[in-house]
Amino acid sequence: MQNLYPLKFHPRYYDKIWGGNKLKTALGKDFGDLPNCGESWELSGVNGNISEVSNGFLAGNNLEELIEVYMGDLVGEKVYEKFSVEFPLLIKFIDANDDLSIQVHPNDEMSKKRHQAFGKTEMWYVLQADQGAKLNCGFNQKIDKETYLKKLENKEIMDVLNFVEVNAGDVFFMPAGRVHAIGKGIMVAEIQQTSDVTYRIYDYERKDANGNERELHTELAVDAIDFTYHDSYKTDYKTEKNQRTEVVKCDYFNTGILEFDATIKKDIYELDSFVIYICVEGEYEISTPDFTEKVKMGETILVPASVHQYQLKPISPKVKVLEVHL
């Protein structure tokens, strides 16, 4: 059997009522004639939307097929024991040309009980933001369930939501249960559990082409919401050149930012996990003793757990990647 190597995948594109064209103009994505492309699923194990390899001798095979064959060599022994052939993370780029609905995701326990699925904890890295663009993350005051429902009924829910003006490079962690929404003019890289369970709370009374408002999930959502108030919801961090800076560590993923202008040598033998690199700035080359691949801004690559040693070599003067593993 031939050795595994860093894997690229064909993105899967999705038209959204709130989508735009930044995935094409800023990231060079070819999403064809979709009028409002809101999402590019870069790496997915979601049933019915499983990513397919685009490079090397494994091109044409999908992610689930690869895990069936390579098991722990691909994802890590402990990861395979826990998740079997289901890939545990979903990586997306999201372009919000309009405000996304106010929403919340259930945790593992609730999602398993209601939907036979995993919960959805996620994080956002802001790739680009128009001047003054804002996103919602949590509440702007202490609030309880009864007050929340009253505000929702009176169409005053926006009054109690926390909105933050954002800039490129900002990071927000969204544990399951936290109310949130990406605002108009923002493009993000999203890292999340493999789940597509979303409860829509409020959608600005928008109507589709047929004059219908989108479905809301008020009753499902209220039991999923964490009403805890926080003084700040943004993740503060400071990068050091050519060193990994950890920004989010939770039960579901560990994400670091790596900004480099020199060759970085990596050894992941002790990690026992695949590693994902999401390129958010510049272009670089990833190489093993017998394989080399170029990666540019807007591209994602998966390093199998059995590829213990490799290096990242900058092509552009500066490169920035999100490094994700379990």
Instruction: Give catalytic residues, as residue numbers.
Output: 200
Core vs surface per residue 204-213: b (16+ CB within 10 A) or e: eeeeeeeeee
Nearest alpha-carbon partner for 100 in 174, 27, 204: 204
Answer positive or negative: Cα dihedral of 104, 107, 109, 115.
Answer: positive
174 contacts: CB under 8 Å, gap ≥ 6: 105, 121, 122, 123, 124, 137, 180
User: Which parts of the chain fold into alpha helices (H)?
Assistant: 22-25, 63-70, 72-75, 77-83, 108-115, 145-153, 218-224
Core vs surface per residue 278-289: b (16+ CB within 10 A) or e: bbbbbebebbbe
Query: What is the distance in angstroms between the CA of the first residue and the CA of the last residue of the chain?
Result: 26
125 contacts: CB under 8 Å, gap ≥ 6: 169, 170, 171, 188, 189, 190, 191, 257, 278, 280, 322
